[in-house]
Amino acid sequence: MISTVFLSLLLAASAYAFMVGRYALSMLLVVGFMQDIVRKLTPGEPIIFIVTVGVLFGAVLLGIWARKGFSYSLEPFARWTDQIRKPIMIFVLVLAMQLMHSIWRYNNVVVGVLGLLTYIAPFLAIIAGYYLVNTVEDIRRFMMLYVFSGVVVAASVVLSFVGYEWTILNEVGVGLKIYDQGTVLKSHAGIMRTGEVAAWHISTAACLVMALAMSSPKRRSFLIVLLIVGALMLAVALTGRRKMLMLTSLFIALYFVAFYYYSKTLDSKYFLGLFYTAIVLWMGFELISIGNYSQSLGNYIARSTTVFSDASSRFIDLGIAPIQWAYKRLGLMGGGLGIASQGAHLFDMENVAGGSGEGGLGKIMVELGLPGLICIAWLVIVITRYVNRLLSLSSQRFVSQPVLPLMLSLTVFLAVNAVTFSVATQVYGDFFILILLGIFGGFVFALPKIVINSLATSQSSTDRIAHAPLSRRPSSGGSVKVSPRTL
């Protein structure tokens, strides 16, 4: 019954998103977080529910093309710069070749298409993210809704830990058991289908809490913010998925370094943020005492703290070494799209890539070969250079104060996800997560448009910046020409 209602609402939401487009981002969040709950409550836990968010996303994308035309969808990649078009075109060519390679080699179209979707979904979501926001407040509203959803996920993880055995709190399937600290730890998933997925969403919510606080035009109490972040990190520890603690820790550390680089200054609230971070982490990992759960909770905390000591070895073993494993197993040209993607095991493909596809670089080498690995490296370099110029633009005096911290936080968040992907690919096979990452990327790509819109509302004419020289370095003042292909 509940699955029928959910699918009916999904179709109605998809039709509305296609025809109108309003509230599309909010509806994507609702469907993305609801699909795992509905799957758990449906007899047999049908796997089809993990892609229901893709139906709504497809409707959103088609609606954009119908209203604006297909050429408009290329605007985030072509209007403001011409540097990233060539690597994207070559990347698409590599994907097409490896798709044909996969179909020819394994005689399975579904596996190839699944693999293709994992690579193109973030780029398509960039289009949606770029189109669906016009101001900083649009982005902040989406982030606040996401944080609320992440807090709900965290609360459901805690409920699972303290003993509630509701169906919606169980992992899909048999569940994951973690053998550590001399005992067996359960990976608490809350309302998500696995602890890995729950940990990613909670960690993302923690990063966005920080981003919202830093970009708020009003001074906030950073002690309260860090207490919220600390509570979310405790929920991540209960999932048993340590790498997501590293994601948030890297975000906090890199954000302050990057903000100082682009703004050339740090006021007292940023120093207080660092201080409170240290206090909360110390309290969270050293002063654990919650009634009868203290011993069990201590095991989760003890396991979580090892992520920092194991970081370098995991990067070598799961980040770099799999490239060599993939070469020895499948050669320089790789084995084709989909063979290391989530869902490949359903088609007897689990032994093709082996452990080579567990790390992100190994997965790329397995599926796209050395040409794909080189192409993605090229794409990362040119996008990094372009985003650097976008952030330099946001540091100018005429740009409203919240823009730099907001865009910088999103950029750092995407960067630390790239680092996490290099050592663990499992969670990045989730279609909902790929869409979210692309949407956040679309927000960053929309920065020139947001700057122009903000200036248009604050003054009757934008002639002040229309003929000013472009500054390509961080600056505390001056003007910037914001026009197509100047970035």
- If asked whether residues 47 and 174 sit together in one domain, one would say no
pLDDT of residue 219: 62
Residue 210 has pLDDT above 80, yes or no: yes
Residue 133 has pLDDT above 80, yes or no: yes
Number of domains the chain is built from: 2
In a domain, 45, yes or no: yes
Q: Which of 19-28, 108-117, 125-134, 348-357 has the lowest mean pLDDT?
A: 348-357
- If asked whether residues 116 and 244 sit together in one domain, one would say yes
Alpha-carbon distance 407 to 444, whole Å? 6
- If asked whether residues 13 and 81 sit together in one domain, one would say no
Domain's final residue, options 39, 68, 97: 68
Q: Does 93 or 266 have the greater pLDDT score?
A: 93
Q: What whole-number percentage of the chain has pLDDT above 70?
A: 74
- Which of helix, strand or coil describes residue 79? coil
Q: Does 354 or 185 have the greater pLDDT score?
A: 185
Q: Which helix (H) or strand (E) holds 93?
A: helix 85-106
- If asked whether residues 236 and 358 sit together in one domain, one would say yes
- Of 322, 301, 320, 318, the residue nearest 310 (C-alpha): 318
Q: Which of 165-179, 219-233, 322-336, 472-486 has the lowest mean pLDDT?
A: 472-486
Q: Is 486 exposed, middle or buried (0-12, 13-18, 19+ CB in 10 A)?
A: middle
- If asked whether residues 50 and 165 sit together in one domain, one would say no
In a domain, 468, yes or no: no
What are the two backbone dihedrals, phi and then psi, of residue 479, each rounded to the nearest 5 degrees?
A: -125, 160
- Of 435, 432, 428, 441, the residue nearest 363 (C-alpha): 428
CB hemisphere CA count around 95 (13 angstroms): 16
Task: Tell me the pTM.
Answer: 0.84
Full domain range(s) for residue 195:
75-459
In a domain, 15, yes or no: yes
pLDDT of residue 146: 97
Using the structure block, give the residue that is written with the tokens 């910046």.
465
CA–CA distance from 465 to each of 286, 394, 445, 482 (Å)?
Answer: 53, 13, 19, 7
CA–CA distance from 370 to each of 63, 94, 338 (Å)?
Answer: 36, 11, 16
In a domain, 286, yes or no: yes
Q: Tokens representing 156?
A: 């459901």
- If asked whether residues 270 and 409 sit together in one domain, one would say yes
Alpha-carbon distance 178 to 240, whole Å? 7
Determine how many CB atoms are found less than 10 A away from the CB of residue 274: 15
Q: Tokens representing 43?
A: 């007899």
- Of 77, 114, 87, the residue nearest 99 (C-alpha): 114
Alpha-carbon distance 71 to 289, whole Å? 58
pLDDT of residue 274: 57
Task: Assign 479 a pLDDT band (cuts: 50, 70, 90).
Answer: very low
- Of 343, 434, 384, the residue nearest 126 (C-alpha): 434
In a domain, 479, yes or no: no
pLDDT of residue 297: 61
- If asked whether residues 61 and 80 sit together in one domain, one would say no
Alpha-carbon distance 181 to 303, whole Å? 7
Please tell me what DSSP assigns to residue 398: T
pLDDT of residue 480: 43
- If asked whether residues 107 and 9 sit together in one domain, one would say no
Using the structure block, give the residue that is written with the tokens 């965290």.
154
- If asked whether residues 59 and 150 sit together in one domain, one would say no
Residue 198 has pLDDT above 70, yes or no: yes
Using the structure block, give the residue that is written with the tokens 């026009």.
483
pLDDT of residue 154: 95
- Mean pLDDT of all residues in 153-159: 94
pLDDT of residue 482: 53
Domain's final residue, options 13, 42, 68: 68
Which sign, positive or negative, has the C-alpha torsion 275, 277, 282, 284? Answer: positive
Q: Across the chain, what does the average pLDDT equal? A: 79
Task: Assign 348 a pLDDT band (cuts: 50, 70, 90).
Answer: low
Q: Which residues lie below 8 Å from residue 365, measured CB to CB, with a gap of 6+?
A: 322, 323, 326, 327, 334, 356, 372, 373
* Tens digits of residue pLDDT in 25-78: 999 999 999 999 999 999 888 888 888 999 999 999 999 988 888 777 788 888
In a domain, 240, yes or no: yes
In a domain, 216, yes or no: yes
Q: Mark out the alpha helices in 264-359 (DSSP H runs).
A: 268-286, 294-309, 311-314, 321-330, 350-353
pLDDT of residue 346: 65
Residue 487 has pLDDT above 80, yes or no: no
Please give the single-letter amino acid code of residue 368. L
Task: Assign 347 a pLDDT band (cuts: 50, 70, 90).
Answer: low
- If asked whether residues 10 and 144 sit together in one domain, one would say no
CA–CA distance from 98 to each of 102, 145, 367 (Å)?
Answer: 6, 38, 7
Task: Assign 150 a pLDDT band (cuts: 50, 70, 90).
Answer: very high
pLDDT of residue 404: 86
Alpha-carbon distance 63 to 72, whole Å? 12
- If asked whether residues 46 and 175 sit together in one domain, one would say no
Q: Tokens representing 456?
A: 């248009």
Residue 145 has pLDDT above 70, yes or no: yes
- If asked whether residues 282 and 387 sit together in one domain, one would say yes
* Tens digits of residue pLDDT in 274-330: 555 555 555 554 444 444 444 466 555 555 555 555 555 555 656 566 777 777 777
In a domain, 483, yes or no: no
Find out whether 238 and 157 touch, Cβ atoms under 8 Å. yes
